Amino acid sequence: MTQHVLVEKSEKLLVLTLNRPDKKNALTRAMYATLGAEIANADADPNIRCILIKANGDMFTAGNDLADFAAIGNATAAPKPEDANPLLPALARSRTPIVAAVNGRALGIGVTLLLHCDMVYMADDALLIAPFVNLALVPEAGSSLLMPLRIGHVRAFEMFVLGEPVSAGKAVSWGLANRTVPAAELHAAARAAALAIAARAPASVVATKSLMRDQEGMLARMSEESGNFLRQLKSAEFKEAFNAFSERRAADFSKFG
Ligand code: COA
């Protein structure tokens, strides 16, 4: 069976490669489970000093698998704690530095996970798109807190509510990414950055990352976001957005009041 997340450990790096290119690396529950477990376990592994997240295919990720979202929205049973996305607390708690290499497009959680990465490299033609409200959803992964802090309220609002694409150049000038590189050089450049981090004094790096982050505040915000997210997943607004995606048409929210 095809592994949708490739896991490789070498040179003190944990490399996680999204590998579902036929579905634009849309993230399934199984992929979140692998990503969450690998990121959480890295903290306890003395052989891992940095995590690199990258993708095969023509885009980083199209975000959450929309069929999985629809299944959650249609479920009649009340959600259980184990239904929650295991990647989110792993990102909030991670003490190991994370570098991301973004090619093509990153959508939804493909954008919001970058806010938990410590260095972000983007291909110079890459785009960031956070179409939460276009899907009648709300921002997740702590992004309702982190995004306005990082880029300011009006830019964050435009990204979330209008789903406007942000170019790689803009992402760098807004502080969402460190630098852009030609697409062909992206993976090598991001790996070099990860190796540079891995060569630094490990306890010093871990303490520095921890001091820069508010883990408890992040987990509290993620929990608040999840309640809103679930409510929206069960809404008629989301059903319209999902049907529109499946039928390859624009959503019509005019009947909702
Ligand atoms: N969930 C599930 N499947 C997805 C997906 C997603 N988020 N994004 C893309 N796919 C699937 C498509 O259904 C299609 O499958 P098929 O070949 O079986 O029909 C395949 O991936 C290729 O996608 P396609 O739409 O043909 O590629 P594209 O290059 O024309 O467009 C996107 C790419 C990412 C712009 C477009 O697929 C899209 O808008 N996806 C939804 C993104 C989204 O809203 N994500 C959630 C954010 S919160």
Sign of the Cα pseudo-torsion (8, 3, 186, 193, in order): negative
Query: Which residue has better confidence, 135 or 84?
Result: 135
Residues 91 and 100 sit within 8 Å (Cβ to Cβ) = no
* pLDDT digit string, tens, across residues 1-30: 789 999 999 999 999 999 999 999 999 999
Phi/psi of residue 46, each to 5°? -65, -15
Instruction: Output the residue whose Cα is nearest ligand 1's atom 47.
Output: 108
Instruction: Output the residue whose Cα is nearest ligand 1's atom 1.
Output: 65
**b/e sequence 183-198, b meaning 16+ C-beta within 10 Å:** beebbebbbebbbebb
Sheet strand arrangement including 166-167: 105-107, 127-129, 166-167
Sign of the Cα pseudo-torsion (120, 123, 125, 128, in order): negative
Whether pTM exceeds 0.95? yes
Per-residue pLDDT band at 162 (split at 50, 70, 90): very high
DSSP label at 101? E
Residues paired with 137 in a beta bridge: none
Per-residue pLDDT band at 58 (split at 50, 70, 90): very high
* Mean pLDDT lowest among 64-73, 129-138, 200-209: 64-73
Instruction: Output the residue whose Cα is nearest ligand 1's atom 35.
Output: 62
Sketch the domain layout of the chain as residue ranges: 5-184
Domain range 5-184, its CATH number among 3.90.226.10, 3.10.20.30, 3.30.1050.10, 3.30.70.930: 3.90.226.10
Q: What's the whole-number mean pLDDT along residues 206-230?
A: 96
- Say whether pLDDT at 176 is over 80: yes
* Burial bucket for residue 56 (CB in 10 Å: 0-12, 13-18, 19+): middle
Alpha carbons within 13 angstroms on the beta-carbon side of residue 218 total 22
Residues near ligand 1 with C-beta < 6 Å?
A: 23-24, 26, 62-67, 107-108, 131-132, 135, 245
